[in-house]
Amino acid sequence: ATSRISSLKAFSLSGRSTLSFRLRPLPKRLQISCAAKPETVDKVCAIVRKQLALPDDSAVTGESKFAALGADSLDTVEIVMGLEEEFGISVEEESAQSIATVQDAADLIEKLLEKKGA
């Protein structure tokens, strides 16, 4: 039997000894999702700033969502085209649609560069 514990906050088990756990969500700053090299993320940030005409001092990080930066679907297409030109890659439409953040784009670039080099 499978039990669902996604909404469970705390539980304890009794027997010879008492064991209790408290489940808490992991703070975002500790979640690791970086597959791309920092220099790739930096290049993507620069391309996003350029395509969206953002000031050089604007806060664009790996976690930045294109929509939150003011990008519409056409802007996102232009960003992907800029990435393809900069990195010498080709991004399939299906993959391009899965890009929502700078980190998503950087991870995809690393994956495509790895395939290209293999």
Closest to 96 (Cα-Cα) out of 82, 86, 115: 82
Residues making up the chain, counted from first to last: 118
3-state DSSP percent of the chain in helix, strand and coil, to 5? 45, 10, 45
CB-CB neighbours of 116 under 10 Å = 11
For the annotated catalytic residues, the residue numbers are 72
Q: In this structure, are residues 99 and 78 in contact, taking their beta carbons and an 8 Å threshold? A: no
- Could you tell me how far CA 74 lies from the centroid of its own chain? 20
